[in-house]
Amino acid sequence: MSQHYDLLIRNALIIDGARRPRFAGDIGVRGGRIADIGQLQQARAECEIDAQGKIAAPGFIDAHTHDDRLLGSDPAMTPKVSQGVTSVITGNCGISLAPLVAASPPPPLDLIDDGGAFRFPDFASFLEELEGRPAATNVACLVGHTTLRVAAMSRLDRAATPEETAGMQAMAREALAAGAVGLSTGTYYPPAAHATTEEIIAVAQPLKAYGGRYVTHMRNEDDRIVESMEETFRIGRELGVPVIISHHKVQGPRNRGRSSETLALLRQAGERQSVCLDCYPYAASSTILRADRIALSSRILITWSKPHPEFAGMELAKAAERLGVSQEQAVPMLSPAGGIYFSMDETDVQRILKFDETMVGSDGLPHDVKPHPRLWGTFPRVFGHYCRDLKLFPLETAIYKMTGLTARNFGLKQRGLLQPGYWADITLFDAEEIGDAASFDAPTQKARGIDSVIVNGVPVWREGRSTGARPGRLLRAGAAAERAAGN
Ligand code: ZN
Ligand code: CU
């Protein structure tokens, strides 16, 4: 008797996500999980996909997103699924949609707000909504320290009082108990810039008991990057938890080439504690519009502006000229607003991307009017530009940086590898054709070369479009995951 599957992928070139060399084979999926991998010619299935000439990889995990609201507002998750992404980590840079009820939260929280988005009094109610109305992708959530500050503090231009710190710690504990996989900070941003190292250590205290990780957009990514890294490592050591440095980069003309120094520091720290990092494959960054970035950037593009929506997509220099003011004076006139900053050196980008412990994360800003192209192009760009054209590393390594490594670093169980028993998150693509089409001029073009994307055994993307299926699950970590699974 031959085997029977729900879904059978035939004749693929399989790359398993653990950096093992590719091999030809078939993948049989049953009950949302990978049942068998091998030569399954005799098998039958409800649904078959012929993957002749295609790579089958674990679905990509976007290590760094701001998709907290996108999961609800565009559950098809088109910018992500069209790139082959099957899971997203939300709540980065200190910014999470919960727990906070606020009509108009301060920047940078407005990066994910449309007015009324911050409406969850606790983390459990946010996770319940994600679970009750699934999206096309899976999601694992971080709780943001900046969100906690806005929720707990009467003023943000100072360190937290002991009472406020205790309040934030209680909220962090609630989030982790509900299923958050870690806590993120964004001390680079004004609402968290006055938080002391001690405040962060106190708020993040519950991480260890829940098996969570500490994820950070550091205080500084230019001249004072080394002291920021040292602060980060210290926080991880004192908490006794793994550290993830977000979108690692070195910015500004004075700091060109300093990634050799920062990566050496990371390697050194890795000998005494668990540290890793994510990065996006571009030499330009993007966040809210800030005057202090003018000196660090050779060029700035406006991604959105509340008072001047007509300037979205325009260079800041040009907008300033139109307004008849300097670039510095234009920033407050355009704000609240967002920008893209050409502030990195390509050599640094490549060195960081290539580093062993570096995961790929888009840091895409899904609600920007003219977003940074990383939102739609990150994963295919690594394959097309860095892997195939520049030969920075082999395909097996690129896939590992988007799957196996990421699942391990975020504690996502039975994800990130093509292996029997694992959840069937699978991306099929053409290695010759794959590439990013999104550019700074046309930032919302979908990628080339993605054939099929399967989440928990269900196709969500086929023949260049969304299937409409929404099989995504909430991925919990540690104790909360076991409780949810009923063990
Ligand atoms: Zn950030
Ligand atoms: Cu971010």
Query: Is the confidence at residue 349, as pLDDT, over 70?
Result: yes
Q: What is the Cα–Cα distance from 17 to 22, expressed in whole angstroms?
A: 10
Distance in Å, CA 51 to ligand 2 centroid: 34
Distance in Å, CA 25 to ligand 1 centroid: 40
Q: What is the Cα–Cα distance from 126 to 77, expressed in whole angstroms?
A: 18
Q: For all residues of the chain together, what is the average pLDDT? A: 96
What's the pLDDT band for 470 if we cut at 50, 70, 90? very high
Tallying the residues shown for the chain, one arrives at: 487
Query: Is the confidence at residue 479, as pLDDT, over 90?
Result: no
> How large is the average pLDDT for residues 116-125?
97
8 A C-beta contact, residue 83 and residue 382: no
Q: Give the β-pairing of 55-58 and 426-429.
A: antiparallel
Q: Is 207 exposed, middle or buried (0-12, 13-18, 19+ CB in 10 A)?
A: buried
Q: Provide the residues around ligand 1 (an ion) whose CB is within 5 A.
A: 93, 217
What's the pLDDT band for 487 if we cut at 50, 70, 90? very low
Q: What is the Cα–Cα distance from 94 to 108, expressed in whole angstroms?
A: 9
Distance in Å, CA 410 to ligand 1 centroid: 17
Query: Is the confidence at residue 485, as pLDDT, over 60?
Result: no
What's the pLDDT band for 293 if we cut at 50, 70, 90? very high
Flag whether the pTM goes above 0.95. Answer: yes
Please state whether the peptide bond connecting residue 99 to the residue before it is cis, i.e. omega within 30 degrees of 0: yes
Query: Is the confidence at residue 4, as pLDDT, over 90?
Result: yes
SS3 428: strand
Q: What is the Cα–Cα distance from 425 to 56, expressed in whole angstroms?
A: 10
Query: Is the confidence at residue 482, as pLDDT, over 60?
Result: no
Q: Give the β-pairing of 243-245 and 275-279.
A: parallel
Q: What is the Cα–Cα distance from 132 to 474, expressed in whole angstroms?
A: 10
Distance in Å, CA 467 to ligand 1 centroid: 32
Residue range 433-453, pLDDT digits in tens:
999 999 999 999 999 999 999
> How large is the average pLDDT for residues 453-481?
91
Query: Is the confidence at residue 66, as pLDDT, over 80?
Result: yes
Distance in Å, CA 175 to ligand 2 centroid: 19
> How large is the average pLDDT for residues 20-45?
97
Per-residue confidence (pLDDT) for residue 291, from 0 to 100: 96
Distance in Å, CA 457 to ligand 1 centroid: 32
Q: What is the Cα–Cα distance from 201 to 216, expressed in whole angstroms?
A: 13
Per-residue confidence (pLDDT) for residue 480, from 0 to 100: 56
Percentage of the chain with pLDDT > 90?
Answer: 96
Distance in Å, CA 185 to ligand 1 centroid: 9
Distance in Å, CA 367 to ligand 2 centroid: 13
CA of 365, nearest ligand number = 2
